[in-house]
Each structure stands twice: as C-alpha cells, then as structure tokens.
Amino acid sequence: MPEHSDKSNESPDIRVFIRDAHGRYLAQDANGLFFTEDRFVAIVLNYQGDHVPKQIEAIRQAHGIELVADPVPLEEIYEMCDQCRELFIPFMTFFDGKRFLCPDCGKRGATRSAH
C-alpha cells in the first residue's frame, strides 16, 4: 500500500529505482554514488517525496545524463497474505508458524481456533 497524500487529488507516492542509459541501477556506499548491475544494492526513492522528476531533469540539463525512474515491483515492497492474497505493508502482517497473514485473516483464524 503506497503512502497516501493528504491532498485528495494527488496520486499515492510510489517507490522507484533510478537507472542509467545502460540499464544500471543507482546505488550508494561509503565512497558515494555509483551505478551497478545489482538491483539488490540499488537506492530506492519515493518518486514524489524525493522529487525524482525534478532531480532527473536537473541532472539531464546540467550533465547531459539521461536517467529514468523504474518502479519497484510491489511484490518486493509488500508482503502478500497467504490466505486472501492481498498485499500489505510488512509490519501489518504476522507469521502464524506456517503462513503470513493480514490482520483480517489472522483474526478469522484466531476466532475459528477459539471455538
């Protein structure tokens, strides 16, 4: 579930990777920023919250470097409830020893086992 804005006409913010013209991902370590083929070390930014479109355009104008924002797949951000198959923020789910469950499915399971 992406973060929702207080303004009803704004769409929810999404998480993105930044990629260069060669398809490499923007990453950062103690030495600074760099591009890598390894998506698992890439920086993840909030598209609106981190002003990604403005920053990409500023970099293009100042340095002539073409960058694109690539959405992070929802499955990589959110946890799927093993019962209802809906996506949830990880802290909203719990593991019952066998499955990851959302609050509603977890309550239904607890109610059934209490009877």
Rounded to whole angstroms, how far apart are CA atoms 28 and 45? 12
From the list 110, 113, 94, the residue with the least C-alpha distance to 102 is 94
Q: How confident is the model at residue 106 (pLDDT cuts 50, 70, 90)?
A: confident
Phi, psi for 22 (deg, rounded to 5)? -95, 5
Question: What is residue 8's predicted lDDT score, i.e. its pLDDT?
Answer: 46
Task: Indicate the range of 4-8, 17-21, 56-60, 84-88 predicted with least confidence.
Answer: 4-8
Q: What is the per-residue pLDDT across 31-55, written as a single tens digit (0 to 9) for each?
A: 999 999 999 999 999 999 999 999 9
pTM of the model: 0.63
Provide the terminal-to-terminal Cα distance of the chain, rounded to the nearest Å: 33
Rounded to whole angstroms, how far apart are CA atoms 66 and 56? 8
Q: What is the per-residue pLDDT across 69-80, written as a single tens digit (0 to 9) for each?
A: 999 887 777 788
